[in-house]
């Protein structure tokens, strides 16, 4: 019962935060100039009639409720007026999403095992030269922005070695071998910082566990260092690390705005940047749809971490009992 209340409380806070953010974005968008332009090749009369039908000429509060009414009753998130004139926004979004998911999934499948392995190895070799080398590398990779890696990887693998193309080939689809091979530089660019982050966190947690009293007790009972580490230390160290892994998998849909732009990947990140830039004015309908998407993914990843901590560590739920009763 306490767990159920705990989850409901966290979900309620997430939804409240989501609607506050979306409401602020909606009001700000409506306060910006939004006049259709002829040079984009659009039928202005058609756009004006569509806007009148959707209530664009009504007060902001009425537009707000109409906007969410169309979303909940018809699944209608608006029609593109700049990037894809006359095309339903959700249709374009659903076509772009697989490329973002594929790119992030490949990056996560590479980052998690490598990051955990490096962190465990550094913890077992604490204060030795192997630990110092890994810790220095982690500090460097965490500090450098991902787009720097993108340019370096692109320069090395394409211009110097000629192993891959400069940009990703999306013609065969998001889950094709062609896209995977051409997207390897982008995957590597997104993985470096994630690998370093997991390595640093794993090393810190495992180092603390290895020096705890129950590990000394395990050794006095006759377990070897390897047995004590695998049976006890790893299990306890993974308690705070597991929620991080869950949040990474939730975030596979969010993508990387900069990486997708550099490698010309037609994903959600590229669509978001283009929606903000537009041709001459932003595509506000796309902007709202993608803002809702990124906000939801970010909050969902946070709530999954929060709830998983509460499930994995009973002390968090016990400490929260008084506030949820």
pLDDT in tens, 40-72: 445 667 667 766 766 677 888 888 888 888 888
Tally Cβ neighbours within 10 Å of residue 138. 23
Mean pLDDT over all residues of the chain?
82
What is the DSSP code (8-state) at residue 159? I
Cα torsion through 18, 24, 26, 27, rounded to 10: 160
Q: Are residues 152 and 236 in the same domain?
A: yes
Q: Are residues 236 and 104 in the same domain?
A: yes
Q: Are residues 229 and 139 in the same domain?
A: yes
301 lies in some domain = no
Query: What does the pLDDT average to over 87-112?
Result: 90
Render pLDDT for 191-245 as a digit per residue (tens, 0 to 9).
998 899 899 999 988 888 888 777 777 778 777 777 777 777 787 777 778 878 8
Q: Are residues 100 and 138 in the same domain?
A: yes
Residue 22: per-residue pLDDT? 93
Cα torsion through 10, 15, 16, 17, rounded to 10: 90
Domain boundary among 204, 227, 242: 242
Query: What does the pLDDT average to over 17-35?
Result: 84
Q: Are residues 71 and 193 in the same domain?
A: no
81 lies in some domain = no
Q: How far is CA 221 from the centre of its chain?
A: 44
269 lies in some domain = no
Return the ∠ at Cα 85 (arms to 30 and 27), rounded to 5°.
10
Domain boundary among 242, 259, 290: 242
Q: Are residues 190 and 139 in the same domain?
A: yes
Q: Are residues 46 and 126 in the same domain?
A: no
Q: Are residues 212 and 158 in the same domain?
A: yes
Percentage of the chain with pLDDT > 90? 19
Rounded CA gap, 213 and 234, in Å? 15
- pTM value > 0.85: no
Q: Are residues 227 and 122 in the same domain?
A: yes
Q: Are residues 120 and 47 in the same domain?
A: no
Rounded CA gap, 116 and 305, in Å? 18
Domain boundary among 16, 41, 76: 76
Q: Are residues 67 and 186 in the same domain?
A: no
302 lies in some domain = no
293 lies in some domain = no
Asked if residue 127 lies in contact with residue 209, where contact means CB atoms within 8 angstroms, the answer is no
45 lies in some domain = yes
When divided into structural domains, the chain yields a total of: 2
Q: How confident is the model at residue 252 (pLDDT cuts 50, 70, 90)?
A: low
Residue 322: per-residue pLDDT? 47
145 lies in some domain = yes
Domain that holds residue 67: 26-76
Render pLDDT for 116-161 as a digit per residue (tens, 0 to 9).
999 999 988 888 999 999 999 999 998 888 888 888 998 898 888 8
277 lies in some domain = no
Rounded CA gap, 288 and 255, in Å? 17
Q: Are residues 232 and 112 in the same domain?
A: yes
Question: Is residue 183's pLDDT more than 70?
Answer: yes
């Amino acid at each position: 019962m306490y767990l159920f209340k705990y989850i409901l409380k966290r979900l309620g806070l997430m939804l409240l935060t989501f609607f506050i953010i979306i409401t602020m974005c909606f009001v700000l968008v409506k306060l910006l100039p939004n006049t259709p332009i002829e040079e984009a090749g659009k039928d202005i009369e058609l756009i004006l009639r569509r806007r009148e039908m959707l209530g664009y000429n009504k007060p902001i509060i009425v537009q707000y409720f109409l906007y969410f009414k169309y979303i909940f009753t018809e699944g209608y998130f608006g029609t593109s007026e700049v990037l894809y004139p006359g095309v339903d926004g959700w249709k374009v979004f659903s076509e772009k999403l697989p490329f973002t998911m594929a790119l992030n999934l490949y990056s996560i499948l590479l980052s998690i095992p490598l990051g955990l392995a490096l962190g465990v190895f550094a913890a077992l070799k604490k204060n030795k030269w192997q630990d110092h080398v890994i810790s220095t590398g982690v500090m460097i990779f965490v500090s450098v922005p991902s787009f720097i890696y993108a340019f370096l990887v692109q320069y090395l693998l394409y211009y110097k070695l000629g192993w891959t193309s400069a940009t990703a080939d999306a013609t065969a689809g998001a889950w094709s071998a062609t896209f995977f091979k051409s997207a390897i530089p982008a995957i590597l660019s997104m993985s470096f910082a994630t690998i370093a982050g997991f390595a640093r966190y794993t090393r810190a947690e495992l180092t603390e566990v290895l020096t705890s009293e129950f590990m000394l007790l395990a050794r006095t009972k006759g377990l070897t260092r390897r047995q004590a580490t695998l049976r006890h230390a790893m299990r306890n160290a993974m308690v705070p690390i597991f929620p991080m892994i869950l949040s990474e998998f939730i975030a596979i849909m969010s993508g990387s705005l900069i990486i997708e732009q550099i490698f010309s990947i037609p994903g959600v990140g590229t669509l978001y940047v283009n929606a903000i830039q537009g041709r001459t004015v932003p595509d506000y309908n796309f902007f709202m749809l993608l803002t809702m998407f990124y906000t939801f993914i970010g909050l969902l990843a946070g709530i999954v971490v929060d709830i998983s901590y509460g499930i994995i560590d009973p002390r968090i739920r016990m400490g929260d009992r008084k506030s949820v009763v």
